[in-house]
Chains A and B, each alone.
Chain A
Amino acid sequence: MLGVAVLAFVLIHIAPGGPVAALVGDRGTPAQIAQVTHSLGLDKPLYEQFFAWLGALLHGDLGFSYVLQAPVTQLIAQRLPPTLLLMGFALLISIAIAIPLGVVQAARQRSRFDRIASLAVFVAWSMPTFWFGTLLIALFAVTLGWSPVGGLQTIDTTSFDWPSRLAHLILPAATLAIVSIAGWSRYVRGSMIEQLREDYARTAVAKGLGPSTILFKHVLRNALIPFITLLGSSLPGLFGGAVITESIFAYPGMGQLFWQAALDRDYAVLLGMTVITGVLVVLGNLLADLAYGIVDPRVRYE
């Protein structure tokens, strides 16, 4: 976690432009620039700046965005919940489709269904998400008019409106989910096929258990153990995908904030968001490891 903080800090500080340029503008005199630089503490040695920043970070202070004129913590606090909602929804869709698809493909290995599904999964895996999102808008929002084009919820409602929120969530979540559906169903398929060859699966067949009992009660549970780790490690990809998805659907979340900050070279926001995302990813992996212990009794944590 400290590694992420150091990496982010170093990256930001080799960057041209920055808070001084943002504050002074293009027409600042050298004296003005020097004065602003001094007042922000940017003329101090780099390691001193780093420890000042790290100290503030540990107190929950991520700095101030001079472009958006707001504390970074506040900006992120505003943008994080919609993104987590979007990612959670996308995760649900992915799991709900990927696992059954993988299981059925493994059960009917080399059948026509398996071949067609494998091909479809391959195409989905190669899908440029921004194009897929655009096609979804073209079909469901513009042509059929079934769903809204973008945004968080209908504008005239100021209060939190669940039905409207959900309607605005379906297309972006589907866009975000397409790549993980492809990757995960492929993984579940492979993992299931491997497990079906194990002795215990053959024992279950020999005992005369029905195919669905074997598949879902015995084999799937074992096949899903490594899947949990995969789930944890796919978090960075989801955050990255959120940038594209949110920009297509004008969905005001973390991804859009990051994109805007990158265009504006708003380093305080970029730095703060990288750290927060890093922390969330590390937490996600930790959670996956703990879940691993619950699902697989052979794993024990001292």
Chain B
Amino acid sequence: MNNPDDEVTARPRLKFTSIAWTGCVWIGFAIVACALAPLAFHLSATSTDVANAYASPSFAHWLGTDGLGRDELARLLIGGRITLSVGAIAAAVAMLIGTAYGAIAGYYGGVVDAIMMRLVDVFLSVPTLFLLLFLAAMFHGSLIALMLVIGATAWLGPARLVRGEVLSLKERLFVEAARSVGASDARIIFRHVVPNAGGTIITTTTFMVATAMLSETALSFLGIGVRAPMPSWGNLLSSAQSDLFAGAWWLIVPPGLAILATVCAFNFLGDWLREGRDTGVAGT
């Protein structure tokens, strides 16, 4: 209320809905649990104990053990670190490429825009998962490569959204003002136009984290994402078929629930941000 900036931009004050609140709390909890718990309890995700394979949940192993006797809770928490960081970094990569691409296409318009967006259409007519599988098979190995591959296949949506936003922003007075004092195109695009598209960018990033997490887990499930023995929420489920016949529900339900809840939380947050912004646009 006392912040004068809010008065000027008439920024909509978002009402924190219970569902967005739940999403936030869950994401916070997941991050803290995955980051700290393995340190606090000296859990190991890789130490095997074959004599104790497929043990059902007990006091020693809260979520039981897998087919090699590894503690499932430890694997879930350490896998969460991998899945969450791959999701965040891949989303950042996608947003960087998409924002730059969309901003340039939208700002220059005309032939440049037509050619650049045609290229996006071409990419969009190839199933993303095909592209993803293909690139992941090609650069199979390091975690960094996986983040880059997921980011490189997810930038199309952000590029389109940012372009749409920039198309309308570039007609605004502040762009003309910047141009009249002799700012270069690059400076106008990245110092003036892009920050004004911040709302769209933040909202899209939230959805992108959810998408990137689903991509990572699907690839790991298919055996070309995060490599065993390093756990991720996706490859914890890659042996789900054999676990199923061993009757080990504790190996199938928790990782899936973890993915579902976290992806849901990010989508809730994104949806809430978008709705808040839509009403804000109507108000200004």
Q: Which residues of A contact B (CB under 8 A)?
A: 3-4, 7-8, 11, 15-16, 119, 122-123, 125-131, 134-135, 137-138, 142, 236-237, 239-241, 243-244, 247-248, 258-259, 262-263, 265, 270, 273-274, 277-278, 281-282, 285
A236 touches B127 (CB 8 A): yes
Given A131-B259, A240-B129, A126 contacting B210 (CB threshold 8 A): yes
Distance between Cα atoms of A265 and B138 in the complex (Å): 7
B268 touches A236 (CB 8 A): no
Given A7-B122, A127-B260, A258 contacting B218 (CB threshold 8 A): no
Hey, which chain B residues are within 8 Å of A247, CB to CB?
222
Distance between Cα atoms of A122 and B264 in the complex (Å): 7
Given A3-B118, A262-B134, A263-B137, A131 contacting B260 (CB threshold 8 A): yes
- The reply on B130 being an interface residue by CB < 8 A is yes
A243 touches B244 (CB 8 A): no
> In residues 202-234 of chain B, which contact A (Cβ within 8 Å)?
210, 214, 217-218, 221-224, 234
Q: Which residues of B contact A (CB under 8 A)?
A: 19, 118-119, 121-130, 133-138, 210, 214, 217-218, 221-224, 234, 237, 240-241, 244-245, 249, 252, 255-256, 259-260, 263-264, 267-268, 271
Interface CB pairs A-B, < 8 A, 10: A123-B260, A123-B264, A128-B260, A131-B255, A134-B241, A138-B249, A236-B128, A243-B130, A244-B218, A258-B130
Hey, which chain A residues are within 8 Å of B234, CB to CB?
128, 130
B137 touches A262 (CB 8 A): yes
A240 touches B128 (CB 8 A): yes
Interface of chain B: mostly helix, strand, loop or mixed: helix
For A129, give the chain B residue with the smallest CB separation: B218
Which 6 pairs of residues, A with B, have the shortest CB-CB distance? A240-B129, A131-B256, A240-B127, A3-B122, A262-B137, A126-B263
B125 touches A281 (CB 8 A): yes
Distance between Cα atoms of A102 and B70 in the complex (Å): 45
Hey, which chain B residues are within 8 Å of A237, CB to CB?
127-128
Hey, which chain A residues are within 8 Å of B217, CB to CB?
128, 130
Distance between Cα atoms of A135 and B252 in the complex (Å): 8
Hey, which chain A residues are within 8 Å of B123, CB to CB?
7
B268 touches A263 (CB 8 A): no
A277 touches B127 (CB 8 A): yes
Which one of B125, B210, B240 contacts A134 once the chains associate, using CB atoms below 8 Å?
B240
- Beyond the given pairs A3-B121, A236-B125, 6 more chain A to chain B contacts, judged by CB atoms under 8 angstroms and listed by A's residue number, are A126-B214, A127-B260, A131-B259, A243-B127, A244-B222, A274-B126
For the complex formed, measure the closest distance between the CB of A286 and the CB atoms of chain B, giving whole angstroms: 12
B244 touches A138 (CB 8 A): yes
Distance between Cα atoms of A15 and B249 in the complex (Å): 40
Distance between Cα atoms of A249 and B204 in the complex (Å): 33
Distance between Cα atoms of A258 and B127 in the complex (Å): 12
For the complex formed, measure the closest distance between the CB of B275 and the CB atoms of chain A, giving whole angstroms: 12
For the complex formed, measure the closest distance between the CB of B220 and the CB atoms of chain A, giving whole angstroms: 10
A130 touches B126 (CB 8 A): no
Hey, which chain A residues are within 8 Å of B252, CB to CB?
131, 134-135, 138
Hey, which chain B residues are within 8 Å of A243, CB to CB?
127, 129-130, 133, 222
Hey, which chain A residues are within 8 Å of B127, CB to CB?
236-237, 239-240, 243, 277, 281
Which one of A137, A142, A262 contacts B133 once the chains associate, using CB atoms below 8 Å?
A262
A11 touches B134 (CB 8 A): yes
Which one of B137, B218, B224, B264 contacts A130 once the chains associate, using CB atoms below 8 Å?
B218
B264 touches A134 (CB 8 A): no
For B237, give the chain A residue with the smallest CB separation: A131
B125 touches A130 (CB 8 A): no
For the complex formed, measure the closest distance between the CB of A217 and the CB atoms of chain B, giving whole angstroms: 31
For the complex formed, measure the closest distance between the CB of A2 and the CB atoms of chain B, giving whole angstroms: 9
Given A11-B134, A236-B125, A262-B137, A126 contacting B264 (CB threshold 8 A): yes
A273 touches B130 (CB 8 A): yes
Given A7-B123, A122-B268, A243-B129, A128 contacting B218 (CB threshold 8 A): yes
Distance between Cα atoms of A282 and B241 in the complex (Å): 36
Distance between Cα atoms of A2 and B129 in the complex (Å): 21
Which one of A16, A134, A273 contacts B237 once the chains associate, using CB atoms below 8 Å?
A134
Hey, which chain B residues are within 8 Å of A258, CB to CB?
130, 133
For the complex formed, measure the closest distance between the CB of B265 and the CB atoms of chain A, giving whole angstroms: 9
Distance between Cα atoms of A137 and B240 in the complex (Å): 10
For B252, give the chain A residue with the smallest CB separation: A134
Distance between Cα atoms of A278 and B126 in the complex (Å): 6
Distance between Cα atoms of A236 and B133 in the complex (Å): 14
Hey, which chain A residues are within 8 Å of B121, CB to CB?
3
Which one of B125, B221, B249, B267 contacts A244 once the chains associate, using CB atoms below 8 Å?
B221
Distance between Cα atoms of A265 and B237 in the complex (Å): 24
Which one of A3, A119, A259 contacts B222 once the chains associate, using CB atoms below 8 Å?
A259
Distance between Cα atoms of A16 and B141 in the complex (Å): 13
Distance between Cα atoms of A248 and B252 in the complex (Å): 14
Hey, which chain B residues are within 8 Å of A127, CB to CB?
260
B224 touches A262 (CB 8 A): yes
Hey, which chain A residues are within 8 Å of B124, CB to CB?
236
Distance between Cα atoms of A203 and B217 in the complex (Å): 50
For the complex formed, measure the closest distance between the CB of A144 and the CB atoms of chain B, giving whole angstroms: 13
Given A126-B267, A134-B237, A258-B133, A142 contacting B260 (CB threshold 8 A): no
